[in-house]
Chain A
Amino acid sequence: MHLKYESVIREALVDGNKDYHQVTEDICAPIENPPTKLWKIGFFLSAALLAFGAFSVGWEVYWGTGVWNLNKTIGWGWDITNFVWWVGIGHAGTLISAILLLFRQGWRTGVNRAAEAMTIFAVMCAGQFPIWHMGRVWDAFFVLPYGNTRGPLWPNFISPLLWDVFAISTYFTVSLLFWYSGLIPDFATIRDRAKTKLRKRLYGLASFGWAGSAKHWQRHEMLSLVLAGLSTPLVLSVHTIVSFDFATSIVPGWHTTIFPPYFVAGAVFSGFAMVQTLLVITRKVLNLQEYITIGHIEAMNKVIVLTGSIVGVAYLTELFIAYYSGVLWEQEAFRLRVMGPYWWAYWAMMTCNVVSPQLFWFKNLRRNIWFTFFMSIIVNIGMWFERFVIIMALHRDYLPSSWSYYTPSWTEVGFYLGSFGLFFTCFFLFAKYFPVIAIAEIKFILKTSGQNYKDKMNAIEEQSDEHFIEEQSHHH
């Protein structure tokens, strides 16, 4: 007997009575069946939202960034708030697929595909904001270091805003490659069981002609491992560099060394919340509850309570350091955050990010679907306010005549709504045409972590040591 052992105390990662073929059937079903009514409605709404976003952006490009309510002190407004928020959301996917791979967390296999797709779409949304913020967007390529006829005049390589260009585009590219290399064998699975000619042809193209040769799998494993090793520092670097946009300035309230770790923790926090929002719905709609189990949801809620607490400590540290620095401007910046005109944003952030996630210390709340869904929305609202609070810190500068109170114009709100349109349009297409769960990876863990296989272990667990040793030694 080929004994694959994992403690029965560990929760099964795949529920129900599954074999390899059943896994394929379950995960391919949404792709092979016609789209449901719910899917059509959702897709149509997302596309409509995307169209409205495109209109808002078109309006802004035609009239110029003046249609946004930016002013002398608030130069970034909702636009960069949304950028940082979306980039943050785009952190969970690679964290799940890369860092949890290195930590050998088996539960990542159930959620990594969808989480990584979410990462890629979130980074696509994030990228829109700085690009359209440029105003003369047709000159956006000026950020690239190409040999131009103006000297050549190069971009400033020591500006954090240029670091962002490199960080976000590298992150997007590497995440996409990592995600797609995992998809190739699964596309081959869909291709080989396809009934229609069109599906055979398209998935044949998408699968790159993968056949599943042993040597190819060996290289595939090596590729995944090294890409995971590369993505792990990468995912930490991206939000670190985003935080440098603020931290390397010499503006009170922004010039703090705590920003990089605090931004990364916040990014993981909001990213996992968004994964929960999507997967709680996806598992229900696509009938994948046996692959994305309550155990998976609980594991992610544990990450949320941990990172939420880190973020909470960071907020308190910031306040303390502002007080302890003895710098008048720093103290005033933080007094205004807590008690100034934007006090409501600060307290919304504190409540949503620090206070409410503490409820996840209770096990039955961590394992409650409705509560998880509700909290995932709350956390994302809180994290949006965190970025808003930081950017609004500038509403009062050194010159009282410039003091202002910023509220967004309809084009800014429309742009934000449009980014949701883009995100969900992509996600709906993904959920219909892509295997939402990594088929090959689930098969890999099935015999150690599938419920029916774990149940078989109970008999072996109950054996006495002598009996077990004797039984095993007969087979070798």
Chain B
Amino acid sequence: MSIKKFAVAAYDDEAVLFPAVKKVRGSGYKIHDVYTPFAVHGLDVALGEKESDLHIAGFIYGITGTCTALGFMGWIFTTDWPQNFGGKPHFPLPAFIPITFELTVLFAAVGMVLTFCYLNQIMPGVKKHIFHPRQTDDLFVMAIEVDDSNAAETEAFLKSTGAVETNIQIAESEWWYGRFDKKEDYEIQQQLA
């Protein structure tokens, strides 16, 4: 758990968001994250994110599936229990293709989805701080980590970039096990304050 302070800005249009991201980064602020209700193309580039390597992981899982299927069936048919099926060869490669293909796809898909969940740290029971309830609806929300000295100044700067809403929030920056129908302690304290 690491509870930090954030200056948060909400934008209502991606056409405003892009110049704002550019301006914020250009002024030397470090963006904690930007939350959007849908995949905004080009935002990852604007934020300086590297391209995802998920497809490489997918390829490796797929190849693993291919080798598993061929190796397993080949071992069974030639070594473990060789049988004569109508005089066919013991390593009938063409007849192995369907299962080999299916396992390739299965391994790649399952592996990629698990990797996706692991990288994003998402899982049933995982909770993350939602800076704005409408960040999954119609707002584009930017969060910048601040301390007591620069909080007010950062918020004012964000306001100037065209945000429709800005505020300062104390928030957990990582994920934790929790329920979305319950408020966390730091959220309750913040509400009282």
What total count of A-B pairs have CB within 8 Å?
204
Task: Report the bound CA distance from A221 to B101 in whole Å.
Answer: 24
Within 8 A of B (CB), among A185-208: 185, 188-189, 191-193, 197-198, 200-201, 203-206, 208
Distance in angstroms from A210 CB to nearest chain B CB is 6
Give B64-107 interface residues, CB cut-off 8 Å to A. Answer: 72-73, 76-77, 80-81, 85, 88, 92, 95-96, 98-99, 101-103, 105-106
Question: For the complex, what is the distance from the CA of A51 to the CA of B4, rounded to whole Å?
Answer: 55
Q: Are A166 and B49 in contact (CB under 8 A)?
A: no
A208/B102 in contact, CB under 8 A:
no
Q: How far is the CA of A244 from the CA of B95 in the complex (A)?
A: 11
> Pick the contact of A157 from B96, B127, B128, B134 — CB < 8 Å?
B96
Given contacts A192-B130, A214-B34, A217-B40, contact A170 B116 (CB under 8 A): no
- CB <8 Å contact, A192 and B43: no
Q: B54 → chain A, closest Cβ, in Å?
A: 5
Q: A106 contacts the other chain (Cβ, under 8 Å)?
A: no
Q: Given the complex, which residues of B lie within 8 Å of A185, measured CB to CB? A: 37-38, 136
Which residues of chain B have C-beta atoms less than 8 A from A174's C-beta? 105-106, 109
Please tell me if B110 contacts chain A, counting CB pairs below 8 Å.
yes
State whether the Cβ of B193 lies closer than 8 Å to any Cβ in chain A: no
Q: List the B side residues contacting A167 at CB < 8 Å.
A: 98, 102
**Distance from B167 Cβ to chain A, minimum over Cβ atoms (Å):** 17
Contact B81 A189 (CB under 8 A): no
B181 in contact with A198 (CB, 8 Å): yes
Q: Is the CB of A200 within 8 A of B92?
A: no
Q: How large is the interface on B (under 10, 10 to 19, 20 to 34, 35 or more residues)?
A: 35 or more
**Cβ–Cβ contact A443 & B122, under 8 A:** no
With an 8 Å Cβ cutoff, the count of chain A residues facing the other chain is: 71
Interchain CB contact under 8 A, B54 and A211: no
Residues of B within 8 A of A (CB): 14-15, 18, 33-41, 43-44, 47, 49, 51-52, 54-55, 58, 62, 72-73, 76-77, 80-81, 85, 88, 92, 95-96, 98-99, 101-103, 105-106, 108-110, 112-113, 116-117, 119-130, 133-138, 175, 179-181
Top-5 shortest CB links A-B: A204-B180, A209-B126, A20-B138, A158-B95, A2-B15
